[in-house]
Amino acid sequence: MVPIFSSNPDNVILFPKTIEYYQNELTKMLEGERFAEAARLLRFLLQCQSDDPQYKEEWRSLLEWLTATFPHLDADGAGAGTEHSERSEEDDEEETEGELFKRHVRAKAANDSKYTEKLLAMLDPRASAEKQLMALDQLVHLDRRTVGEPLKLWLEESRLHPLVQFRGLQALRTLGETGMIGIRKLGQSMTLPIGETPLRYEQFPAAARNVLERTRKAMESNQPGLAELAESIWRDFLAFLYGSSVYDELSALDDTGTDVWAAALHHTVQETLLGPSDESDLSASYGGLAEADPKAFHKALQVIKLFATVANPGDM
């Protein structure tokens, strides 16, 4: 991949796979509330050459939202880090960007009686996924008594992309909502306990997380550069499937099943970055494939590939 910060970004051409990589990086930064880094990356991307104007428009809109929400993100994107360091030295008290964001959202709600209503209106299923995610990021910092029920109704009644839907469930848990909620996802009706929604990757079932660890171990010897994409795909894949019958299967995998899904993930990553590859090459790295039903591997491969085709919330 090209470096994030090039001395001359005008000469950098963004190809589809490079764009996908940076889209994933942006998602990680925003989910981790690393807003200054996201702003710097967006400014870099907007200077690069690309044949897809839609991405440029999305990046421009996101950067405008970030700079409007965080005025301290100045032109070089250094404001957040600089202000944070100075405040830590003066007050001897650490304050994260997430805490700044929470304070900012609550201040806006206190100064604008319609602010909560405006955020809830952004959850209109006809709105872009990006807009809905931005609203969720702010709603979690407001009064549960005001936003809890509207969020539940939105999840229960709307047709949503599975990744947006999962973030909605996380929002409910973050707000302190409990009990069960009924949703429709991937053609299935399901009732889920709000309080068990994973807020961090480490809260997904160990059996499901073992698939990624198995893939990482197999890639370490001769394909270490693929591990980052494998992690990005698998984390989103678990969120995408959360609550489904396939998710239940992943939550209870034995060693053979772990090898089957890890090999399918490995194969998908190889094809994504390197083009067509021979499935038989995986047998040496995943001994469990020899013991498994051959149909199991192809089923896992189909499910992951299906996810990869619709992973971008803008696709649904």
Convert the pLDDT of each residue in 47-104 to its tens digit: 877 767 788 888 888 888 888 877 766 544 444 343 444 444 434 333 566 787 788 8
Instruction: List pLDDT tens digits, range 234-276.
Output: 999 999 999 999 999 999 999 999 999 999 999 998 888 777 7
Residues 131 and 210 in one domain: no
- Can you tell me the distance from the alpha carbon of 226 to that of 237, in angstroms, rounded to the nearest whole number? 16
Could you tell me if residue 198 is inside a domain? Answer: no
Question: Is residue 295 included in any domain, yes or no?
Answer: yes
Check pLDDT > 50 for residue 110.
Answer: yes
What tens digit of pLDDT does each residue of 147-199 get? 999 999 999 999 999 999 999 999 999 999 999 999 999 888 999 999 999 99
- Distance, in Å, from the CA atom of 99 to the CA atom of 105, rounded to the nearest integer, reads 10
Q: What angle do CA 106, 109, 65 make, to 5 degrees?
A: 85
* Residue owning tokens 């994030």: 4
**Residue 121 structure tokens:** 């209106």
Q: With 0.85 as the threshold, say if the pTM is over it.
A: no
Q: CA 28, CA 229: separation in Å to the nearest integer?
A: 12
- Do 21 and 158 lie in a common domain? yes
The whole domain housing 20 covers: 9-166
What DSSP line would sit under 144-192, residue for residue? Answer: HHHHHHHHHHHHHHS---HHHHHHHHHHHHHHT--SEEEEEETTEEEEE
Both tokens of 221, joined, read 């010897």
Same domain, 33 and 154: yes
CA 307 – CA 311 distance, rounded (Å): 5
Whether 178 is in a domain gets the answer no
- For residues 177 and 148, the answer to whether their CB atoms sit within 8 Å is yes
CA gap 156, 168 in Å, rounded: 11
Q: Please state, in angstroms and rounded to a whole number, the distance separating the CA atoms of residues 248 and 244.
A: 6
Residue 188 lies in a domain: no
Q: If we measure between CA atoms, which residue out of 27, 24, 46 comes closest to residue 35?
A: 27
Reported as a pLDDT band with limits 50, 70 and 90, residue 4 is very low
Residues 239 and 311 reside in one and the same domain: yes
Q: What residues are paired with 180 via a beta bridge?
A: 193
Per-residue pLDDT at 160:
92
> What's the domain count of the chain?
2
What is the Cβ-side half-sphere exposure of residue 250, based on CA atoms within 13 angstroms?
A: 29
Beta bridge partners of 184: 189
By mean pLDDT, which of 22-31, 166-175, 184-193, 283-292 is the weakest?
Answer: 22-31
Residue 12 to residue 2: CA distance in whole angstroms: 8
Domain of 298: which CATH number?
1.10.472
Report helix angle 144-157 to 162-175, nearest 10: 150
Query: Are 17 and 161 within one domain?
Result: yes
